[in-house]
Amino acid sequence: MPRYAFAMRLLLVEDDPMIGEAVRDLLRAEGYAVDWANDSDMADAALATQAYDLVLLDLGLPRRDGLAVLRDLRARKDRTPVLIATARDGVAQRVQGLDAGADDYVLKPYDLEELLARIRALLRRAAGRAEPVYEHQGISVTPATREVLVQGRPVSLSAREWAVLEPLLARPGRVLSRQQLEDKLYSWRDDISSNAVEVYIHGVRKKLGAGLIENVRGLGYLVPAAPPRGEGV
């Protein structure tokens, strides 16, 4: 049974086709949207073009291993939660992975219930790790509690309005494409209309003001980078 009103998007990095297919199908059955990369080059390309809520990263990749993917990700200041997968006897590898910036690890072969529990725990932790308050031109947003104030007055957003706003708030100043935002609206049981992103962005703008979500012609949308506290907004 899916646990989310809209799909959290995960990147699975696994070179073994049987394991990859099984884990992908398991995660999709749980209601996640899953992209599967079977080598480090595919993983790098996916991470460069798509915003993910979590990465499940096998460290034992051929050629360029998962540690290199992880180090490059953290070098770009990307804080996407990473759950590394290692063999039971790979203690040194687990230590290297955690030191390189992994958020947690899981042992292979997988215990599927443990894998799902660790993914849920990391997603919960990441939600609480978001910037505590985003402020812009009289708007104050606390993503962890979904509290929104406009000129000090509380405003309520729908689940789907949050679905397009939250990924933008997580990366202020960074453009997300229409497709990336559409992915956040994906539900295993719902069809998404061709103009869904525009509809929900219009709803957010109507409630919070036209200046919060900016169009970047031909590329997508962004929210402005919030100025440091103490500067005018």
Give the predicted TM-score (pTM) of the model. 0.57
What domains are defined for the chain?
9-129 (3.40.50.2300), 134-222 (1.10.10.10)
Contacts within 8 Å (CB) and 24+ apart, 165-169: 165/141, 165/204, 165/213, 165/223, 167/51, 168/213, 168/221, 168/222, 168/223, 169/130, 169/131, 169/134, 169/141, 169/143, 169/223
For the stretch 1-17, pLDDT in tens is 334 434 689 999 999 99
Cα gap 33→194, rounded to integer Å: 18
Residue 128 has pLDDT above 50, yes or no: yes
The answer to whether residues 10 and 21 touch, using CB atoms and an 8 Å cutoff, is no
- pLDDT the model gives residue 41: 94
**DSSP 8-state symbol, 227:** P
> Quick one: pLDDT band at residue 43, thresholds 50, 70, 90?
very high
Average pLDDT, the chain: 84
Grouping H, G, I as helix, E, B as strand and the rest as coil, residue 148 is strand
For the stretch 152-192, pLDDT in tens is 899 999 878 888 888 888 778 889 898 888 877 764 335 56
- Which residue from 62, 25, 17 is spatially nearest to 41, judged by alpha carbons? 62
